[in-house]
Amino acid sequence: MPKISDKSPKESAVSVQVEAKDLMWAAFPPRIEDNRKSYFHRVARELNWKVRRVRAFFHCEARVSVEELRQLQARYEIQQQRAAQREKDRHELRALLQTPRGSLSVADRAAGPAGREAAGDRPMGSPEGRLSPIDE
């Protein structure tokens, strides 16, 4: 049996409006170059809403529909997936940057030293592999 809320219908509506505003804020984080007006226009463009509707959400004046909440929730989930992918890429890049400069890739290890010499490649740490200022 569902729990009966102690909140009045007006308080419940206000909490849904605040929740929708927070969800919009999380789904569309403001950029450094955004002022309030550009933020409203960017969000309206991406959601295919009118600017006035976005402004009403921002100021908690809108009556929130279920479809609008679902749209914001879907956008928030996409935002979370992108953030997770960026974090994964960041960790992979850090791991690549922390490997020693002279270390070999998997393909180089499989080919061995004879494979590198045959291909004409020089090891990354060798002075012959670098260009001098005169050669540039």
Would you give per-residue pLDDT tens digits along the chain (136 residues)?
A: 444 445 555 555 568 888 888 888 888 888 899 898 999 999 999 999 999 999 998 888 888 888 888 999 999 999 899 999 999 999 988 888 887 765 656 555 555 555 545 555 555 555 555 554 554 4
Total domains in the chain come to 1
Alpha-helical (H) ranges within 28-105 are 36-47, 51-58, 66-97
Looking at the domain assignment, is residue 19 inside a domain? yes
Within a domain: residue 101? no
Residue 99 lies in a domain: no
Place of tokens 């960017």: 42
Residue 113 forms part of a structural domain: no
Q: Which amino acid is at 96?
A: L
Domain assignment present for residue 121? The answer is: no
Within a domain: 57: yes
Residue 116's φ and ψ, nearest 5 degrees, are -70, -45
Which range of residues forms the domain containing residue 80? 9-85
